Amino acid sequence: MACKLICIDMDGTLLNSNDEISRRNLEAIRKASENGVQVAISTGRLFVSANYYADLIGVKTPVIASNGAYIRDKNTDKVIYKSLLGYENCKKVINVAKKYDMYAQFNTYDSIFTEKLVYSSKFYSKMNETLPEDRRVNIKITSDWDESFKKYKNEILKCIVIDKDCEKLKLIKEELLKEKGIQVVSSFRNNVEVMAKGVSKGNAVGILADFYNLTREEIMCIGDSENDLSMIEFAGIGVAMGNGDELIKRSSDYITDTNDEDGVAKAIEKFVL
CATH of the domain at 260: 3.40.50.1000
**Are 188 and 157 found together in one domain?**
yes
- Is the Cβ–Cβ distance between 269 and 28 less than 8 Å? yes
Record the pTM.
Answer: 0.96
Would you give the distance in Å from CA 197 to the centre of its chain? 16
- Is the Cβ–Cβ distance between 40 and 61 less than 8 Å? yes
224 is catalytic: no
E strand or H helix that includes residue 91: helix 87-99
**Are 155 and 228 found together in one domain?**
no
Q: Which of 9, 163, 224, 262 is catalytic?
A: 9
- Is the Cβ–Cβ distance between 21 and 12 less than 8 Å? no
**Are 10 and 108 found together in one domain?**
no
Length of the chain: 273
Q: Which residues span the domain enclosing 157? A: 87-196
CA atoms of 103 and 97, how far apart (whole Å): 6
The string of pLDDT tens digits covering residues 144-192 is 999 999 999 999 999 999 999 999 999 999 999 999 999 999 999 999 9
Where a domain ends, among 196, 222, 245? 196
Please give the pLDDT value at position 173. 97
Please give the pLDDT value at position 181. 96
- For residue 27, what are the CA distances in angstroms to 21, 52, 77? 10, 18, 26
**Are 42 and 113 found together in one domain?**
no
List, in order, residues 6 or more apart from 116 with CB less than 8 Å away: 103, 141
CATH number at residue 183: 3.30.1240.10
**Are 179 and 107 found together in one domain?**
yes
Q: What DSSP state is assigned to residue 62?
A: P
CA atoms of 154 and 83, how far apart (whole Å): 9
- Is the Cβ–Cβ distance between 188 and 210 less than 8 Å? no
**Are 76 and 13 found together in one domain?**
yes
Where a domain ends, among 196, 217, 234? 196
Please give the pLDDT value at position 74. 83
**Are 75 and 56 found together in one domain?**
yes
Please give the pLDDT value at position 129. 93
CA atoms of 123 and 136, how far apart (whole Å): 12
pLDDT less than 70: residues of the chain: none
**Are 106 and 75 found together in one domain?**
no
Where a domain ends, among 181, 196, 211? 196
**Are 129 and 78 found together in one domain?**
no
